[in-house]
Amino acid sequence: MIRNPKPVTIAFIIAVVLSLFVAATTWFIDEHDMRLAATAGVVTLVFSFVLFFYSLEFFIYKKIKLIYKTIHSLKTQKYDAKLSNFDWKTDPIMNMNKEVINWAKDQKEQMDELKKLADFRKEFLGNVSHELKTPIFNIQGYIHTLIDGAIEDPEVNIRFLQKAAKSADRLSDLVADLLAISQLESGELNMEPERFDINALVKDIYEQLEVRAKERGISLIIKEGCNKPFYVFADRYRIRQVLVNLILNAIKYGKEFGTATAGYYDMDENILIEIGDNGEGITQEHLPRIFERFYRVDKSRARESGPGGTGLGLAIVKHIIEAHNQTVNVRSQIGQGTTFSFTLKKATGN
């Protein structure tokens, strides 16, 4: 059996069968006149071949080719019904079949992706609303209390104003972080790389966060063998953001009177930076989502850990590192702690 026959083949087969039938019929009817039967068969063969070929090629295949062309054009978002540039030598039925299957597969993948984006957008909007609502309600409460008369009480007014200012600062931080993520995702935030010592930067951040660390008895240390210059080529300001976020997490979620540790490792073309703690650790089910916006492993603990972040810290970390064309990872074991690691391009020369 012929697979994927072309119009000429189908027309010829039909014409042969029909001409044989006409020739045989003529031979029987006209008393076995071979010449008449042969003439009828040849005429029928030629006429039927031309008729069927024309019908298949121009009435059926032409429409199939138009459908194939339309599907292909719609897929590429360049719809054009003209067939002047179409390859007529290809098998349109086979191609159309493949195109329809691939198109259906693409449509399903796009629908699945759109559904994921819709779910993500819904969750994101819910998280943003929740995060904005808390400081806004706090500010409203303090201000209305002051307006209702507390402004005259010297023991209350300053304290309430300080609390309102604290909530306003949190609101400002949230908006700034959302703007930063938006700029990072859209590529609007350009990196300004320079050569600097990552170890010196970590030490500077350790000094800045020393008071926060002492509140929980956390020792800020650098791993043995790592307390020396490690030069990288990156955006110093943005990497400082990354390190502040990671070191703050080690302080907030590490074990009380434990340690927050920094280490650096030469990886040929890159420098590997690790920031770890010896706290409770994170279960494996949470690790895949740890860099999502507003995702918190333990919401109650996050609220109890003192002045908190916006829930966007690790998402910003991921975007900044990826903007440097590098990667960030996390590993954790329950009861042993958590370590975040990322790579930066190693600086060469002076």
On the question of pLDDT at 296 being above 70, the answer is no
Domain with residue 340: its CATH number is 3.30.565.10
Q: Is residue 110 part of a domain?
A: no
pLDDT band at 81 (very low <50, low <70, confident <90, very high): very low
How does the average pLDDT of the chain come out, rounded?
A: 79
pLDDT of 59 = 62
Tell me if 79 is assigned to some domain. yes
How many other C-beta atoms can be found within 10 angstroms of the C-beta atom of residue 155?
A: 7
3-state SS assignment for residue 90: coil
Report the DSSP pairing between strands 337-345 and 270-277.
antiparallel
Which regions of the chain does DSSP assign to beta strands (E)? 194-197, 219-222, 231-234, 259-267, 270-277, 328-333, 337-345
Confidence of residue 216 (pLDDT cuts 50, 70, 90): very high
pLDDT of the residue at 191: 83
Establish if 105 belongs to a structural domain.
no
* Residue 313 forms part of a structural domain: yes
- Has residue 103 been placed in a domain? no
217 and 325 co-located in one domain: yes
| Boundary of a domain, candidates 160, 186, 212 | 186
Judge contact between 2 and 23, C-beta under 8 A: no
Q: Is residue 9 over pLDDT 70?
A: yes
339 compared with 185, residue with greater pLDDT: 339
Residue 104 confidence (pLDDT) above 60:
yes
Q: State whether 201 and 335 are in the same domain.
A: yes
Residue 300's pLDDT is what? 43
* Residue 109 lies inside a defined structural domain of this protein: no
The pLDDT assigned to 303 comes to 41
Residue 151's CATH number: 1.10.287.130
Q: How confident is the model at residue 134 (pLDDT cuts 50, 70, 90)?
A: confident
Considering the domain architecture, whether residues 174 and 212 belong to the same structural domain is answered as no
Q: Which are the contacts of 45, defined by CB distance < 8 A and separation ≥ 6? A: 15, 16, 18, 19
Domain total in the chain:
3
DSSP per residue over 99-144, as a string?
Answer: HHHHHHHHHHHHHHHHHHHHHHHHHHHHHHHHHHHHHHHHHHHHHH
In this structure, the answer to whether residues 302 and 227 fall within a common structural domain is yes
Report the SS3 class of residue 344.
strand
Lowest mean pLDDT among 105-114, 189-198, 200-209, 219-228: 105-114
Residue 74 falls inside a structural domain: yes
Give me the half-sphere count of Cα atoms (radius 13 Å) on the Cβ side of residue 248.
18
**Three-state SS at 349:** coil
Residue 161's domain comprises: 115-186
Q: What does the chain come to in residues?
A: 350
Instruction: Provide the pLDDT for residue 236.
Output: 93
Can you give the pLDDT at residue 64? Answer: 67
Regarding predicted confidence, which is higher, 182 or 273? 273
Any idea what the Cα angle at residue 63 is, between residues 19 and 67, rounded to 5°? 140
Structure tokens at 116: 């994921």
